[in-house]
Structure 1
Amino acid sequence: MVTITAQESTEPGAIPHGLLFASDALLLGRKTYEGFAEAWPARTGDDYSDRINSLPKYVASTTLQKTTWNATLIKDVVAGEVAKLKEQTGPSILKFGTGELDHTLMQHNLVDEFHFWLFPVVAGSGQRLFEGIDTMHLKLVDKTTFNSGIVVLKYSPK
């Protein structure tokens, strides 16, 4: 039996903090990596910044030529390399951002958990996150509700 707990909180930052500290490595696409590598190295002196800066990072890109910021470039056979990483790095690889890398990971069944952040806003337009992805059935594992109306839904593939 799976028990789904709904938690009320005023601290949305607690979720990414918990995920980051439970992770052994970060997996990033090129665009997310470039944004993070520009911003995070200058930030130090707090637990979150120090943790994100110290973790090994793996960057999937066919166009990037080199990396810095404790990062290793994955240029070829991304799905195969990520599968190897899952075996080698320990219990948890955290992926930030959305984009083409998500499609590759999902198409090769390399995603163990999804954390969807639902904001109380109707945008009316925008890019579809899972355009072109085959149907994937998910199981709700946890739900956290914040006083702001933000809901974080944690799912695992069935």
Structure 2
Amino acid sequence: MRKLIVYIAVSLDGYIAAEDGGIDWLNGYPNPENNDYGYARFFATVDTTLMGYKTYQDVLRLADTFPYPDTTNYVFSRSPKPEAPYVTFTNGDNIPGLIQRLKAQDGKNIWLVGGGELNTAFLQHDLIDEMIIHTIPVVLGSGRPLFAGTVQKTFKVKDIKLYDTGVVETRYER
């Protein structure tokens, strides 16, 4: 069965973006090795992405073209959106039903790209199987949190990797 995996970077204080959605703090972090922190290896294991509308807008701002044209992409939005290349917009009324259908299909894993509100909704419904979190040693002080809301769930640490740059990759599983 396919897994639903969160793969994301966070600041030391748990933020995935600045208040305005900016990730300059992430792009500006020194990375002399030009290390992709396992991204290419991870991305080869997925064929479906899930993201909130704010995250989708951030993705479009960061790239000249949509970066996931060869995957199935769902964008969750509270209001109807016009059609767009490579994505299916959904209002998320039945998140558990959608994820059950996706997990039952043949294919690779499913990447929950974010953001914090969507991460929380999936966590509330016990839909996250694994999390791969890259902690960047930067304190933002405020911003968009990894989880936007109060939910208590327990995960088990599967692996920890320390990169020469100071970035810590922690893998968690349910």
Deviating beyond 4 angstroms after TM superposition, the runs of 4 or more aligned structure 1 residues are none
Higher gyration radius (CA): 1
Q: Quick one: percent identity of the two aligned structures?
A: 28
Matches within 5 A, 1:19-38: 19-38=42-61
The structure richer in strand per residue is 2
CA 1:54–1:37: 2 relative to 1, 3 Å: farther
Quote how far apart the aligned CAs of 1:131 are.
4.8
1:100 aligns with 2:117: yes
Is this contact kept in 2: 1:25–1:89, CA < 8 A? no
- The alignment partner of 1:106 has SS state of helix
2:76 maps to what in 1? 60
Quote how far apart the aligned CAs of 1:17 are.
1.6
The structure richer in helix per residue is 1
Return the TM-score normalized by structure 2.
0.70
Quote how far apart the aligned CAs of 1:63 are.
1.7
Give the Cα–Cα distance (whole angstroms) in 2 for the partners of residues 32 and 117 of structure 1: 17
- The alignment partner of 1:134 has SS state of coil
Q: Give the letter aligned to residue 92 of structure 1.
A: N
- The alignment partner of 2:46 has SS state of coil
CA RMSD of aligned residues (A): 2.3
Return the TM-score normalized by structure 1.
0.76
Quote how far apart the aligned CAs of 1:145 are.
1.2
Unaligned runs of at least 5 residues, structure 2 = 1-32
CA 1:131–1:60: 2 relative to 1, 3 Å: closer
2:152 maps to what in 1? 135
CA 1:139–1:11: 2 relative to 1, 3 Å: farther
Is this contact kept in 2: 1:107–1:133, CA < 8 A? no
Unaligned runs of at least 5 residues, structure 1 = 1-9, 44-48
Quote how far apart the aligned CAs of 1:133 are.
3.2
